[in-house]
């Protein structure tokens, strides 16, 4: 399979035609080899229009959703970004090519180790990864210019809002256990926050102290 051709088709059909306009986001997803972030047996499906299982009851997000959430962060290349829910590491790789530094948290150790290996194989040395409860953020490294949450939460955790820098953007899926909507929160210069809602989405649950419990 010609993965470069598959990536180009993915970008054109799934991103550009659906309204993704940020050229930096488009460029990142055109260059990052998504297939190395899935099991080898599923590499031929890596550029398909949908999420894929990555083990541990987790998924790698649909390419369009990765692009949309990244675009909502409005990254310029100078930011310090926090990602909660490393998963496969693909979203962290996208962020790493668009920001100065990335801090990513994964609660499931086997996934974190696989993600670290994939990120290292691409030479993305500006990604810091820790195994912990992502719903608590990474307070000792705050504030962050942007925070991206890749799992669905029942509400926007206040502790994450508190870790935003002035002018910082937080993008998070919020809703029930199966269906959510993307929410973007921006911290104003006076410390107040404003939020707006984007499209419907469906993510795995955000498990942890400030998210869902592990019970079904």
State the pLDDT at residue 216: 62
The residue segments making up the domain with residue 144 are 50-201
Residue 206 lies in a domain: no
Residue 33 lies in a domain: no
Residue pLDDT, tens place only, 198-210: 899 999 999 999 9
Positions marked active-site: 61
Residue 149 lies in a domain: yes
Other residues' Cβ atoms within 10 Å of the Cβ of residue 63 = 26
State the pLDDT at residue 191: 78
State the pLDDT at residue 214: 80
Residue 25 lies in a domain: no
Biggest CA-to-CA distance, the chain: 52
CATH of the domain at 112: 3.40.50.150
Residue pLDDT, tens place only, 34-52: 999 999 999 999 999 999 9
- Rounded to a whole number, what is the distance in angstroms from the first to the last CA of the chain? 39
Residue 212 lies in a domain: no
pLDDT at 162 over 90: yes
State the pLDDT at residue 1: 75
Residue 162 lies in a domain: yes
Residue pLDDT, tens place only, 182-202: 999 999 988 789 988 989 999
Whether the CA torsion 89, 92, 98, 102 is positive or negative: it is negative
For residue 34, give both structure tokens: 């998504």
Q: What is the mean pLDDT of residues 149-163?
A: 95
Residue 9 lies in a domain: no
Residue 141 lies in a domain: yes
State the pLDDT at residue 215: 67
State the pLDDT at residue 36: 97
State the pLDDT at residue 141: 98
Question: Does residue 9 or residue 193 have the better pLDDT?
Answer: 9
Residue pLDDT, tens place only, 77-135: 999 999 999 999 999 999 999 999 999 999 999 999 999 999 999 999 999 999 999 99
Cis peptide leading into residue 143 (ω within 30°): yes
pTM for the full model?
0.96
**Number of domains comprising the chain:** 1
């Amino acid at each position: 399979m010609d993965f470069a051709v598959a990536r180009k088709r993915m970008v054109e059909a799934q991103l550009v035609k659906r309204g993704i306009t940020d050229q930096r986001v488009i460029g990142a997803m055109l260059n990052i080899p998504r297939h190395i972030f899935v099991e080898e047996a599923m590499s031929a499906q890596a550029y398909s229009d949908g999420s894929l299982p990555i083990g541990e009851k987790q998924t790698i997000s649909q390419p369009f959703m990765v692009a949309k959430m990244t675009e909502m962060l409005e990254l310029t290349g100078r930011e310090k970004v926090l990602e909660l829910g490393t998963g496969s590491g693909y979203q962290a790789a996208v962020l790493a090519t668009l920001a100065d530094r990335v801090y990513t948290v994964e609660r499931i150790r086997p996934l974190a180790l696989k993600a670290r290996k994939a990120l290292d194989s691409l030479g993305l040395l500006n990604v810091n990864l820790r195994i912990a409860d992502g719903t608590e953020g990474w307070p000792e490294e705050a504030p962050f210019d942007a925070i991206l949450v890749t799992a669905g939460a029942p509400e926007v955790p206040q502790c994450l809002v508190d870790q935003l820098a002035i002018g910082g953007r937080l993008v998070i899926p919020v809703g029930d256990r199966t269906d959510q909507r993307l929410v973007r929160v921006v911290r104003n210069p006076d410390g107040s926050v404003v939020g707006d809602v984007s499209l419907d989405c469906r993510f795995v649950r955000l498990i942890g102290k400030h998210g869902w419990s592990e019970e079904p």
